Amino acid sequence: AARIADAPILPRDEAFAITLDFQSDPTPEKVSLGAGVYRDENSEPWILPSIKMAKSVVERSLDLNNHEYLPIAGFDPFLKVARELVLGNYNTSNSHVLSIQTISGTGANHLGALFLAQQLRPRNVFISDPTWGNHFLIWQTAAPHVIQEKYPYYDAQTRALNFEGMTSMLENAATEGDVVILHACAHNPTGIDPTRDQWRSLAQVFKRKKLFPFFDSAYQGFATGDPEEDAWAVRHFHEVLFEDGPGNTPQGMCIAQSFAKNMGLYGERVGAFHLVLPQDTPSTGPYSQLLRLVRAEISNPPLYGCRLVYTVLSNPTIRAVWYEDLRKMAGRIKGVRSMLKQEIEKHENVGDWTHLTSQIGMFSFTGLSKDQVQRLRDKHHIYLMSNGRVSLSGANEGNVKCIADAIAEVVQ
Ligand code: PMP
């Protein structure tokens, strides 16, 4: 046995460390642009009106007195509406979907990595450069034998998607059965998604090379304000990968789905893992393997959050309110983008900030250097990730000028 005391000290997780540092900063004018959580125009957490309605429905129903265990796979009515939210009304003749409730999007990513490492046994997992940092950690711990490769995604020079680099890496370095993680929409941290034509062309590469797409869907509804629109890439891959055709024998694809951001249910940890298989692939084996992994890890998932999500998605009145909530959140962030761009560009010698408004979702990849980020923190009490990612939800009419003036000061 080893000595526990010898465990090496690891650095703090940056995203959570920023929040702690921010909280302990006594300066009243401090601004947090770190955490990927939505804030309203007063920098307060926002309880979605649709979620308030769902709570009262859940509380009035007898169900709330039921604190029994869920089945290992989770709450079936929730899984059904969650699956339909991301995949739409798909054609069931070519594929079928196994769905498992998870501890939010992180749990879904983790379950997927564990399962694929054991049952698909890919040589490589391709992860976008840059990405949500937890992708690396999850695959390291859940699938240590799978080699992690970064595929080019962001071109710092043009502040745009490096589509050619991405495609040629997948064409030349990826081999059959390799897993490729794709952000379903509102790419974290860059805020840049492929265009529809680019998604179409990627889907053809995946199909031809028999690569396994792993969609991480953490922001459905947050990119455009419309969850149907934001699911387009996932649905397109689903359609193309499983269409009838000579020699088309896909292994499948999967989706890690989170309700943290789009329903404001961060701490409730509601998510799902969906494994899409060809219709003629037997599913009893794969399903039993998924259940085994869940049983060993959490035995069965939590109850409260999935009841809320189920209520929102299954009740037409509340669902309509939720669509409105999404438009409101996405709309406010869009407004912040133009205000910030305008305010920064009022200064001289600050360069072009068009990327602020062309990027989408909660984040913007500003192009600020590590030193500039440090100066923003030390001098201006503005907190953001050292890679220059800002979470725009921390900005509002009241503080946007201060943020812009500070950014101008550090870049000039
Ligand atoms: N994937 C991406 C790309 C994310 O940004 C996040 C949230 N930061 C997640 C997954 C999962 O978050 P959660 O576990 O809170 O659902």
CA 131 to ligand 1: nearest atom: 3
Q: How far apart are CA 281 and CA 277, in angstroms?
A: 6
Q: Which two tokens stand for residue 113?
A: 């990595």
Percent of the chain clearing pLDDT 70 (strictly above): 99
3-state secondary structure the chain: CCCHHHCCCCCCCHHHHHHHHHHCCCCCCCEECCCCCCECCCCCECCCHHHHHHHHHHHHCHHHHCCCCCCCCCCHHHHHHHHHHHHCCCCCCCEEEEEEEEEHHHHHHHHHHHHHHHHCCCCEEEEEECCCCHHHHHHHHHCCCCEEEEEECEECCCCEECHHHHHHHHHHHCCCCCEEEEECCCCCCCCCCCCHHHHHHHHHHHHHHCCEEEEEECCCCCCCCCHHHHCHHHHHHHHHHCCCCCCCCCCCEEEEEECCCCCCCHHHCEEEEEEEEECCCCCHHHHHHHHHHHHHHCCCCCCHHHHHHHHHHHCHHHHHHHHHHHHHHHHHHHHHHHHHHHHHHCCCCCCCCHHHHHCCCCEEECCCCHHHHHHHHHHHCEECCCCCEEEHHHCCCCCHHHHHHHHHHHHC
**pLDDT tens for each residue of 340-375:** 999 999 999 999 999 999 999 999 999 999 999 999
Is 322 annotated in the active site? Answer: no
188 Cα–ligand 1 center, Å = 9
- Could you say which of 46, 132, 139, 199 is catalytic? 132
Could you tell me the end-to-end alpha-carbon distance of the chain, in angstroms, rounded to an integer? Answer: 56
Q: Whose CA is nearest to atom 6 of ligand 1?
A: 218
Ligand 1 site, residue 230, Cβ cutoff 6 A: no
CA 187 to ligand 1: nearest atom: 3
**pLDDT tens for each residue of 230-256:** 999 999 999 999 998 888 889 999 999
Please say if the pLDDT value at position 65 is more than 80. no
- Could you say which of 178, 193, 216, 325 is catalytic? 216
105 Cα–ligand 1 center, Å = 5
182 Cα–ligand 1 center, Å = 13
Residue 273, judged by CB atoms within 10 A of its CB (0-12, 13-18, 19+), counts as buried
Provide the mean pLDDT of the chain. 95
Is 261 annotated in the active site? Answer: yes
Specify the pLDDT at position 91.
66
Q: How far apart are CA 153 and CA 162, in angstroms?
A: 5
Ligand 1: residue of 181, 261, 389 to mutate (most ligand atoms within 8 A of CB) is: 261
Minimum mean pLDDT range among 81-90, 293-302, 311-320? 81-90
Whole-prediction pTM: 0.96
Please say if the pLDDT value at position 66 is more than 90. no
| Bridge partner residues of 96 (DSSP) | 277
**pLDDT tens for each residue of 87-110:** 998 766 789 999 999 999 999 999
Ligand 1 site, residue 396, Cβ cutoff 6 A: no
Specify the pLDDT at position 63.
67
Q: How far apart are CA 272 and CA 216, in angstroms?
A: 11
93 Cα–ligand 1 center, Å = 31
Give Cα separations from 316 to 87, 351, 378, 379 (angstroms).
18, 47, 49, 49
330 Cα–ligand 1 center, Å = 17
Ligand 1 site, residue 36, Cβ cutoff 6 A: yes
**pLDDT tens for each residue of 25-59:** 999 999 999 988 999 999 999 999 999 999 999 98
Is 193 annotated in the active site? Answer: no
